[in-house]
Amino acid sequence: MLIRNGTVVTSKDSRPAAIRIEGERIKEIGPNLKAAAGEQIIDATGMLVFPGGIDVHTHLDMPFGGTTSSDDFETGTKAAAFGGTTTLIDFAIQPKGTRMRDALDTWWKKAQDRASIDYGLHLIVTDLGSAGLEDMDEIVKEGVASFKLFMAYPNVLMVDDATIFQALSRTAKNGALICLHAENGGIIDVIVRRAVAEGKTAPIYHGLTRPVAAEAEAVHRAVAMSEISGAPVYIVHLSSEDALNEVREARDRGVPIFAETCPQYLLLTIDELARPGFEGAKYVFTPPLREKQHPPKLWEGLKHDHLQVVSTDHCPFCFEDQKILGKDDFTKIPNGGPGVENRLQLLFNYGVNEGKLTVNRFVELVSTTPAKLFGLYPRKGEIAPGSDADIVIWDPKAAHTISAKTHHMRVDYSMFEGFQVVGNARTVLSRGEIIVDGGKFIGRTGRGNFLKRVARGGAWQ
């Protein structure tokens, strides 16, 4: 297969070039590649040609908040493909009192025969028990080279500092990367209980009970634990300027701290939670949306590499029959929002088109750095000979209105309903196979492979 007449865009440069694909991999790239007899030609005139998007933060088919996230591996990976994402890394949860390996088996079963793009897994550690530290080494050998630990959600997912520190001390040796949900769960829990006792039960109180300082404090603590243990830390779904300042100061001192943010924190504010009636429930996720001074600081953070990745934290719950669980009490609204399909569209439109990011930085944020940090590079996240032919042929002029009426995620609303974006995926290839073309899915359910990731990725360099 030969993709020609397009502009190949990587994290480093943009150049007119053709890409030859042989089997599942890129064979060669050059300005003057000639079509061989019988070769399939894809004309990319006027198009940008990116490495496929990598979303390192999704929750598919995840039991949470008394229900299960509404996209499974079939619908979620298909929706991702429509938006130009060809790899995702989902989270397997270790139920308290069980072995980590069992969680992996559970998530492999969820993904098997369903995923249409390649996927990796992180493991959410809820309990080290007596064998947990040895289990972590085993998990890394299985190709699950990252763990998530929660500093929030007491009695559900939260672990104490001793657990986080022990886990970090282990990854300092086995080379995995620990991801932290950084919010001070104890403080938040007290504030939440006070609010409910005062009859403050509407969705807006989800935002008002989770102060920015509770996020910044947790990031500060995470930095200290990274310094003491000598292990890198990756902060997930960073939402505020204050938390960003903690990351920036630590990085300036040479502490190996990395952080992602998500489109919702770049483009929405706490005002969404105050929508009339119960509408605000559509925007209940943690950390919550913040006041309007925060998003511009996050954009600056992306530009200057204080933030390294944009993921989605895709964790969809339908409004009609799932978010409604918290109609009379915001603490019962399942936490999470949809977005896996819209990440590239939103970041391209509001980042590249609005001049906040170069197109090369865009590729770095949505594909190359995620691959590097999570042990997939250069197989994924790059357009180079030998890399998997995960390629997005992107029409930079395609206008698109985001809507639940037309999206492919299995959820009955969009957080970005009516947003008009310019720039969209025209053709999406996964390992050399066209899986989306002109708005149609032509891939095959179940063709996605589990990706064994390597330890000591980019966070260690």
- Contact flag: residue 239 with ligand URP (CB under 6 A): no
In terms of residues, how long is the chain? 461
Residue 342 Rama label (left phi>0; alpha psi -120 to 50; beta): alpha
Rounded Cα distance between 423 and 9, Å, is 14
- Contact flag: residue 260 with ligand URP (CB under 6 A): no
Rounded Cα distance between 145 and 177, Å, is 6
User: Which member of 90, 241, 260, 313 binds Zn ion (CB under 5 A)?
Assistant: 313
> Minimum distance from CB of 183 to Zn ion (Å)?
8
Rounded Cα distance between 422 and 397, Å, is 6
| Site for ligand URP, residues 333 to 352, rule: CB under 6 A | 335-336
Between residues 4 and 181, which has the closer beta carbon with respect to Zn ion?
181
- Contact flag: residue 370 with ligand URP (CB under 6 A): no
- Contact flag: residue 453 with ligand URP (CB under 6 A): no
Between residues 91 and 450, which has the closer beta carbon with respect to ligand URP?
91
Per the CB < 8 A criterion, the answer to whether 89 and 374 are in contact is yes
| Site for ligand URP, residues 9 to 68, rule: CB under 6 A | 59
Locate all alpha helices (DSSP H) within 317-368, ordered by sequence.
Answer: 343-347, 359-363
> Minimum distance from CB of 376 to ligand URP (Å)?
20
User: Which member of 86, 184, 286, 345 binds ligand URP (CB under 6 A)?
Assistant: 286
- Contact flag: residue 181 with ligand URP (CB under 6 A): yes
- Contact flag: residue 295 with ligand URP (CB under 6 A): no
4 binds, among ligand URP, Zn ion, none (CB under 5 to 8 A by kind): none
What are the tokens at 19? 């890409």
CA 430 to chain centre: 18
Between residues 50 and 330, which has the closer beta carbon with respect to ligand URP?
330
Query: What backbone torsions phi and psi does residue 280 show, to the nearest 5 degrees?
Result: -60, -20
- Contact flag: residue 326 with ligand URP (CB under 6 A): no
> Minimum distance from CB of 262 to ligand URP (Å)?
9
User: Positive or negative CA dihedral for 49, 362, 230, 144?
Assistant: negative
Write the single-letter amino acid at 460.
Answer: W
- Exposure string over 407-432, b if 16+ CB within 10 A, otherwise e: bbbbbbbbbbeebebebbbbbbbbbb
Rounded Cα distance between 168 and 400, Å, is 43
> Minimum distance from CB of 327 to ligand URP (Å)?
18
Rounded Cα distance between 143 and 122, Å, is 9
Rounded Cα distance between 212 and 25, Å, is 45
| Site for Zn ion, residues 377 to 416, rule: CB under 5 A | none
Between residues 64 and 441, which has the closer beta carbon with respect to ligand URP?
64
> Minimum distance from CB of 141 to ligand URP (Å)?
26
364 binds, among ligand URP, Zn ion, none (CB under 5 to 8 A by kind): none
> Minimum distance from CB of 222 to Zn ion (Å)?
13
Which residues contribute to the site for ligand URP (CB under 6 A)?
59, 181, 237, 285-286, 313, 315, 335-336
